[in-house]
Amino acid sequence: MPDKPHDARGVAVPSGRLARLARFGGLAGGVAGNVAVDAARRFAAGERPSMADLLLTPANAMRVTRQLADLRGAAMKIGQLLSMDAGEVLPPELTEILARLRADARRMPASQLQKVLTERWGQGWRDRFAVFEPEPMAAASIGQVHRAMTRDGRDLAVKIQYPGVRRSIDSDVGNVATLLRLSGLLPPTLDVAPMLAEAKRQLHEEADYAREGRHLARFGELLADAPGYVVPRLHADLTTADVLAMSFVEGEPVERMVDAPQDERDWVATLLLELTLRELFEFRLMQTDPNFANYRYDRTTRRLALLDFGATRALSPQTTGRYRALLRAAMAGDREAVRRGAVEIGFFDASTDARHQDAALDLAEIVLAPLRAGGVYDFAEPGRTARLREGGLALAGERDFWRIPPMDTLFIQRKAAGMYLLAQRLRARVDVRALLARWL
């Protein structure tokens, strides 16, 4: 089925609990219908497909992404996390379809936008602005961003939360979890309760724009000494729990840098990797969402703009210490020390089957190769992505290996994997060992 054409008028966000539940019911029914039709066709042809084969089809992925994009809020956010964290593991066709959730959120129609801002800022809110662009610059899972100019001359980017997002988080997470359980794609022995509880907690935090504003201001202070970065300035007088006002910063999406000259691609990747290390070892405060849309690059000033701090997470000294030990072992090429570090961090435990431990360590050796490289490391090395996908798919197929690591580990790995993937996409060349040496 072809995707819906873009609606220039926007698509209203369903904010009521029953309206959202009905969408989930329709989604489940539509997927079930696709499965039934496909199963009948394939059985008639003499095939014996598994349930996973029937569920993981482009048609079902298209249906899921379209519905989650219309729902927005926590439902869409979870879809984005799946598409980002799947990285190089899902088949390319499904990854491409899911990736639309990172870029193709549907905006609110003008009438709903007017209603939301009147509720947040009061009836006379337009009098405060010389210009307020009605078309959003960007639309994402829990909000959309508009450019505006205040009457006192401030050039702003204003992020506005979709209505009903905060109220729908718990039910949306529960509904997505139910869909995953009913699909049979998760092994029954896997305890997803801690991850679901953490997902709810983080999504509630991300939906609190006043909290994000505080982290925006904090990172502005932490990076004040770093000329390679620019953090928008918070405008507290226009910021509420549902609206975040910050200074507009110039730049183009980092994904567009794939065709830039090699030195620019190298510089952008260096800035991203260095920031991740500072967050982990110096700040102990990490923006854990690696969505590429969170970063823009200004070629004129050679500065990287950091745009989103909703998923900011404080890290304990114990966590950073364990990562320091693991990375030292990786730099030394000490496989047994890496194994002990992986157990300490929680990637697997000492009782995990030795075969699964070795498979995980083989993958880790591919990922940690930049640390052992002397001098500049070429992230575009041919064959690495294929090896990662092949090894990841093989390990993912071992359901008795599946486990959920501690939440700090889960979010650090999410950020690190995203930066690694972006460096690969940029085909960057970076002296990673030199970047890391100052922290070890």
Q: What is the CATH number of the domain that holds 214?
A: 3.30.200.20
**Per residue in 174-206, pLDDT tens?**
776 666 565 555 556 666 677 677 778 878 888
Q: What is the count of structural domains for the chain?
A: 3
- Please provide the DSSP assignment of 124-172 as one string: TGGGGEEEE-SS-SEE-SSEEEEEEEETT--EEEEEEEPTTHHHHHHHH
Over residues 220-231, the mean pLDDT reads: 96
Residue 397 CA from chain centroid, whole number: 23
Residues 200 and 221 in one domain: no
pLDDT for the residue 2: 35
List, by residue number, the catalytic residues. Answer: 289
Residues 59 and 137 in one domain: no
Over residues 66-86, the mean pLDDT reads: 49
Over residues 3-21, the mean pLDDT reads: 45
Instruction: Please indicate whether residue 124 or residue 103 has the higher confidence score (pLDDT).
Output: 124
Residues 244 and 262 in one domain: no
Which of 143, 175, 206 is the C-terminal boundary of a domain?
Answer: 206
Which residue range(s) make up the domain with 149?
Answer: 109-161+208-248
User: Over 60: is that where the pLDDT of 110 sits?
Assistant: yes
Q: What percent of the chain has pLDDT over 90?
A: 36
**Per residue in 304-339, pLDDT tens?**
999 999 989 999 999 999 999 989 888 888 889 988
Residues 148 and 214 in one domain: yes
Residues 78 and 218 in one domain: no
CA distance 190 to 1: 33
pLDDT for the residue 283: 97
Residues 386 and 342 in one domain: yes
Residues 271 and 137 in one domain: no
> At 372, is the pLDDT very low, low, confident or very high (cuts 50, 70, 90)?
confident
CA distance 285 to 297: 22
Residues 59 and 139 in one domain: no
**Per residue in 258-283, pLDDT tens?**
999 999 999 999 999 999 999 999 99
Residues 229 and 339 in one domain: no
Residues 217 and 146 in one domain: yes
pLDDT for the residue 45: 54
Least confident residue range of 120-129, 158-167, 271-280: 158-167
- Average pLDDT for the chain: 76
pLDDT for the residue 49: 45
pLDDT for the residue 210: 94
User: Over 80: is that where the pLDDT of 207 sits?
Assistant: yes
> At 349, is the pLDDT very low, low, confident or very high (cuts 50, 70, 90)?
confident
Residues 42 and 120 in one domain: no
Q: What percent of the chain has pLDDT over 70?
A: 66
- Please provide the DSSP assignment of 369-436 as one string: HHHHSSS-EETT-TTHHHHHHHHHHHHHT-GGG--PPPHHHHHHHHHHHHHHHHHHHTT-EE-HHHHH
CA distance 370 to 241: 41
Residues 38 and 155 in one domain: no
